[in-house]
Chains A and B, each alone.
Chain A
Amino acid sequence: MKQFQYVRPTEAGLAINALLKDSGAKFVAGGTNLLDLMKRGIEAPERLVDINRLPLKEITKNDQGFNIGALTLNSSLAEHKDIRKDLPLLSQALLAGASAQLRNMATVGGNLLQRTRCPYFYDTSMPCNKRLPGSGCGALKGFNRMHAIFGASEHCIAVNPSDMNVALSALDAIVQLSGPKGKRNIPIQDFHRLPGDRPELDSVIGKNELITGISIPTSALKHVHYLKIRDRSSYAFALVSVAAALDLEGTTIRWASLAMGGVAHKPWRLTEVETFLAGQQISAGLFQEAGTLAMRGAKAYEHNEFKLKLAPLSIGHALSIASGLVKA
């Protein structure tokens, strides 16, 4: 690991200043992703600004919904009594991610900024436009089994590895940022980016901005399920995941919200499918159609063609469980 200077501010303003003063500075919270990357020489900050002592750990609930501090641990959020009751989709997604130990370290803000697990991003002897812009994409014609089927570009076919982000997408969360120019709120769907020709940018966060929290509006979508398909039954990144949320009146779908993980550079929201489902009666046939519709525009690479079959089946299954048609 390269040498760095370590500072530990106790106020958000001081933390942002500490970043402003040094173009090579980075925030560290849980460290589960950044320290991993620093050990491998993928990240080499000159200054590490430890933000763990900032007062950003509160979960509050009001009429509008939830406000969750950026430093809330993944485990605390998943186990929170009101989150389990009101937003079980978020709790399920969090518990599907990483391990108990990592969830006790990883924060909400850090999870939002989690880097891809593309092996070419991790291997410094390989080309990767995300790690080293202009060096090429090793995955495009390489081992691309885990990679994107939606929204990729010739420069990058990596996927966002987070489970939490997929649930937040289906729940229309808002990301709260604070920076030298003030505060701003960004809907989660606009927070992460598609790779385009700038795959080094995962999100729209500014260079000196700090995530202070997220807000999640009160949801009428009470019938939910987070389905994660992976190579082993626990502690692995998703091949495909689905966050399904339904507002039902009897067996009629009033409204649906759907997002996928493991298929794109950002949580992949399926708005077209949501509109299709609205007003329809729940049935296995309907959910199969929904899965097929979701695949419009999908494009596979040499090793991930299986996702073109796995993804629609996963959508159908997640909707069946969420609606109560089948048991989890």
Chain B
Amino acid sequence: MAKEKTSKASRRNFLKQSTLITVAAMAPPVALKAAEEQWDERLASAIENVPLNIEVNGSVHQAKIDPRVTLLDFLREHLQLTGTKKGCDYGQCGACTVHVDGQRINSCLSLAVMNDGRKVTTIEGLADGAELHPMQAAFIKHDGLQCGYCTPGQIMSAVACIREGHADSDEEIREFMSGNICRCGAYPNIVAAIREVKGGSKV
């Protein structure tokens, strides 16, 4: 443990010290400004940033980001796609559900950089222009929500649930939707919405 701490400290210190050596060669006012604005910290993190190429709702994005940023935070904080919600941030509630290459995942438990080269669909990418996706329309029709916070995750999960072929009965829908928690308890209406879309009847 102690050894690991030392090596961690030394790598970061090396990055910071290299900056300080550069700063020391500068005129005093510049050096002061550098210290004030924490150039050492900023340089160290700039070196650690990782390039990311990602397609979100059909648009390609290129960024250089801190590898600690989760896919959820990247969508919300970097792309301002705030439809995807942060509930628990630990993969327990499903509010952050998005599709990556067509598969539903918890975006809070995936680093953005791990999704380099992938195609992401969020709740914002589901509708066809002004026309709602049938699942969105069904949630409205069946009152599949109360406060609405879990709804984007529920809808993304529900679309995938049908696509995976796991919506053949109410029991199966409940089992395969269990990763999306609704604290308002709109479950019966959510199941009804999914059942209707699966049945292909007009919504």
Give chain A's interface residues, CB within 8 Å of chain B. 1-6, 8, 22-24, 28, 30-32, 35-36, 39-40, 44, 46, 48, 50, 52, 75, 79, 98-102, 104-105, 234-235
Minimal Cβ-Cβ distance residue in B for A79: B164
Residues of the A chain whose Cβ atoms lie less than 8 Å from the Cβ of B7 = 22-24, 46
Complex Cα distance, B90 from A98, in Å, reads 13
| CA gap between A50 and B52 in the complex, in Å | 14
Residues of B within 8 A of A39 (CB): 89-90
**CB-contact partner of B179 in A24, A35, A100, under 8 A:** A100
Interface status of B192 (Cβ within 8 A of chain A): no
Within 8 Å by CB of A4, from B68, B105, B180, lies: B68
Interface residues of B (CB under 8 A from A): 3-4, 7-8, 11-12, 45, 48, 50, 66-68, 70, 89-91, 94, 97, 103-106, 109-111, 113-114, 116, 157, 160-161, 164, 166, 174-180
Q: What residues of A have a CB within 8 angstroms of the CB of B4 in the complex?
A: 23-24, 46
Contact yes or no, B164 A100, CB < 8 A: yes
A-B contact pairs, 23 of them (CB 8 A): A2-B8, A6-B48, A8-B113, A23-B3, A23-B7, A24-B7, A28-B114, A31-B114, A32-B106, A35-B70, A40-B90, A46-B11, A48-B111, A98-B179, A99-B94, A99-B178, A100-B157, A101-B91, A101-B106, A101-B157, A102-B106, A105-B105, A235-B178
Which A residues are in CB contact (< 8 Å) with B166?
100
Residue of A at shortest CB range from B9?
A: A46
Beta-carbon contact of B179 and A102 below 8 Å: yes
- B94 with A35: CB separation less than 8 A: no
Which residues on the A side are within 8 Å of B12 (C-beta)? 3
Q: Are B70 and A100 in contact (CB under 8 A)?
A: no
A-B pairs, top 6 by smallest CB distance, nearest first, are A99-B179, A234-B178, A6-B67, A235-B178, A24-B4, A104-B103
- CB closest residue in chain A, given B99: A104
Residues from chain B with Cβ under 8 Å of A6 in the complex? 48, 50, 67, 111, 113
A28 to B68, CA, bound (A): 13
Chain A nearest Cβ from B86, distance in angstroms: 12
State the Cβ distance, B149 to closest chain A Cβ, in Å. Answer: 17
**Complex contact B157–A105 (CB within 8 A):** no
Least CB distance, A245 to chain B, in whole angstroms: 23
Q: Which of B8, B50, B111 contacts A24 (CB 8 A)?
A: B8
Give the residues in chain B near A52, CB-CB below 8 Å: 114
CA distance A2 to B7 in the complex (A): 14
Contacts of B105 in A (CB 8 A): 101, 104-105
Q: What separation, in Å, do the CA atoms of A182 and B67 have in the docked complex?
A: 31
Chain A's closest residue to B174 (CB) is A234
Are A3 and B111 within 8 A (Cβ)?
no
> Known contacts being A3-B48, A101-B105, is A48 close to B67, with CB within 8 Å?
yes
Bound together, the chains give a CA A44 to CA B106 distance in angstroms of 21
How far does the alpha carbon of A234 sit from the alpha carbon of B175 in the complex, in Å?
6
| Interchain nearest-CB distance for A232 vs B (Å) | 8
